[in-house]
Amino acid sequence: MKKLRCSPTAKAVAVLLLCVMALLFLVSLLCLVELNNQNAFSYGYEYARQNLLGSLGRKQIDQIRDLYFYQGLQGSEIFPNTNLRFSITLDNGEDLYSNYQGEEFLWSGTMTVTLPYPSWVPGSYDSYGSSSGVLTTPVVTPTPKPTPEPTPETTLAPAYTPAPIEDETFLPVPTPTPRPALTPSDQAASSSPVEDPETAQIHAYVLSDLSQQDIFSYRLKLFSVLYRLRYFAVVLLVLSFLIGVFLFLFLIGAAGYRNTSGVVTNGWPERIPYDLFTCLCMVLFFFPLMIPFDGGVEYNILGFLLMAGMLLFSGLVLLEFCMSTAVRIKTRSLLSSCLSVRLFLWLCRCCRSAGAALLASLKNLPLIRRGVLITLVLFLLEFLLLAVTPSFDDDIALALILKDVLLLLGICWLLLSFRRLRDGAKALASGNLNARVSTDRLYFDMKDHAEDLNRIRDGMNAAVEERMKSERLRTELITNVSHDIKTPLTSIINYIDLLQKEEPQSETEQEYLDVLGRQSAKLKKLIEDLMEASKASTGNLPVNFEPCDLNVLMQQMLGEYEERFRAADLTPIFTSPEEAIPILADGRHMWRIFDNLLGNICKYAQPGTRVYLNTSCQRDRALVTFRNISREELNVSASELTERFTRGDSARSTDGNGLGLSIAESLTRLQGGEMLLTLDGDLFKVSLSFPLFRDSAERESIKP
Amino acid sequence: MPKILVCDDDRDIVSALRIYLESDGYTVICTYNGKEALNAVRTDPEISLVLLDIMMPEMDGIRTMTALREDRNLPVILLTAKSEDTDKILGLNLGADDYVTKPFHPVELLARVRSQLRRYLSLGGSPDREGALKIGGISLDDRRKEVQVDGEPVSLTPREYDILKLLMQNPGVVFKPEEIYRRIWNEEPYGAEGTVAVHVRHLREKLEITPSEPRYLKAVWGQGYRFEPVRETAQWKGDEAK
Reply yes or no on whether the pLDDT at A566 is more than 90: yes
Residues of B with CB under 8 A from a CB of A: 10, 12-13, 16-17, 19-20, 55, 81-86, 102-106, 176-178, 193-201, 219-224
Q: Are strands A95-98 and B224-227 parallel, antiparallel or unpaired?
A: unpaired
Per-residue pLDDT band at A646 (split at 50, 70, 90): low
pLDDT of amino acid A654: 53
pLDDT of amino acid B85: 57
Contact criterion met (CB < 8 Å) for B194 and A574: yes
Q: Give the three-class secondary structure for A138.
A: coil
Q: Which chain B residue's Cα is nearest to A561?
A: B198
Q: Which chain B residue's Cα is nearest to A581?
A: B222
What does the pLDDT look like over A170-196, one tens digit per residue?
A: 433 343 444 443 444 444 444 444 566
Residues 6+ apart with CB under 8 A from A568: A602, A603, A605, A607
Contact criterion met (CB < 8 Å) for A482 and B223: no
The Cα–Cα gap between B222 and B219 comes to 9
Return the ∠ at Cα A660 (arms to B82 and B228), rounded to 5°: 50
The Cα–Cα gap between A461 and A423 comes to 18
Considering only A162-166, A244-248, A310-314, A655-659, which range has the smallest mean pLDDT? A162-166
Which residues on neighbouring strands pair with residue A518, listed in sequence order? Answer: none
What does the pLDDT look like over A443-498, one tens digit per residue?
A: 788 888 888 888 888 898 899 899 888 878 877 777 777 778 888 888 898 898 88
Q: CA separation (Å) from A250 to A14, A17, A255?
A: 8, 12, 8
Q: CA separation (Å) from A500 to A524, A545, B13?
A: 18, 45, 17
Nearest to B169 by CA among B131, B222, B207: B131
Estimate to the nearest angstrom the gap between the alpha carbon of B234 and the chain centroid.
10
Chain B environment of A494 (Cβ under 8 Å): 13, 16-17, 20, 106
Q: Which chain A residue's Cα is nearest to B191?
A: A578
Per-residue pLDDT band at B123 (split at 50, 70, 90): low
A587 has a chain B CB within 8 A of its CB: yes
Maximal CA-CA distance, chain A:
201
How many angstroms away from the CA of B201 is the closest CA of chain A?
A: 6
DSSP label of A174: P
Whether the bond between A704 and the residue before it is cis, its omega within 30 degrees of 0, is: no
Q: CA separation (Å) from A467 to A126, A431, A461, A473, B174?
A: 126, 15, 10, 10, 40
What does the pLDDT look like over A508-556, one tens digit per residue?
A: 888 888 899 888 888 888 888 888 887 777 777 788 888 899 999 999 9
What does the pLDDT look like over B24-82, one tens digit per residue?
A: 889 999 999 888 888 888 888 888 899 988 888 878 888 888 888 887 888 888 887 76
pLDDT of amino acid A626: 94
Q: Which chain B residue's Cα is nearest to A540?
A: B84
Per-residue pLDDT band at A591 (split at 50, 70, 90): very high
Which residue pairs from A150-158 have beta carbons closer than 8 angstroms and sit at least 24 positions apart in sequence? A151/A104, A152/A104, A152/A208, A153/A105, A153/A108, A156/A46, A156/A50, A156/A106
CA dihedral sign, ordered B129, B135, B136, B141: negative
Contact A614, A624 (CB under 8 A): yes
Provide the ipTM: 0.81
How are strands ordered across the β-sheet holding B138-141?
A: B132-135, B138-141, B146-149, B152-154
Estimate to the nearest angstrom the gap between the alpha carbon of A225 and the chain centroid.
61
Residues 6+ apart with CB under 8 A from A590: A548, A553, A671, B221, B222
How many angstroms away from the CA of B107 is the closest CA of chain A?
A: 10
**Which element (helix H / strand E) includes B153?**
strand B152-154
Contact criterion met (CB < 8 Å) for B102 and A547: no
Q: Is A182 exposed, middle or buried (0-12, 13-18, 19+ CB in 10 A)?
A: middle
Of A491, A549, A558, Cβ closest to residue B194: A558
Instruction: Please give the backbone phi and psi of residue A551, each rounded to the nearest 5 degrees, phi first.
Output: -65, -45
Q: Which chain A residue's Cα is nearest to B199?
A: A559
pTM, to two decimals? 0.51
**Which element (helix H / strand E) includes A25?**
helix A8-37
CA dihedral sign, ordered B37, B38, B42, B47: positive
A643 has a chain B CB within 8 A of its CB: no
Of B85, B103, B194, Cβ closest to residue A555: B194
Q: CA separation (Å) from A559 to A87, A479, A544, A605, B193?
A: 156, 33, 24, 19, 10
Of B83, B85, B102, Cβ closest to residue A487: B102
The Cα–Cα gap between B14 and B21 comes to 10
Of A161 and A71, the one with more pLDDT: A71
Q: What is the mean pLDDT of chain A?
A: 79
Chain B environment of A553 (Cβ under 8 Å): 221-222
A574 has a chain B CB within 8 A of its CB: yes
Residues in chain B, total: 242
Reply yes or no on whether the pLDDT at A614 is more than 90: yes
Nearest to A693 by CA among A550, A541, A542: A550
How many angstroms away from the CA of B144 is the closest CA of chain A?
A: 29
Q: What is the 3-state secondary structure (H, E, C) of A517-530?
A: HHHHHHHHHHHHHH
The Cα–Cα gap between A435 and A422 comes to 12
Contact A166, A70 (CB under 8 A): no
DSSP A654-680: SS--S-HHHHHHHHHHHTT-EEEEEEE
The Cα–Cα gap between A550 and A547 comes to 10
Contact criterion met (CB < 8 Å) for A498 and B19: yes
Q: CA separation (Å) from A253 to A1, A11, A320?
A: 10, 11, 13
Q: CA separation (Å) from B12 to A489, B8, B21?
A: 11, 9, 14
The Cα–Cα gap between A298 and A305 comes to 10
Contact criterion met (CB < 8 Å) for A494 and B13: yes
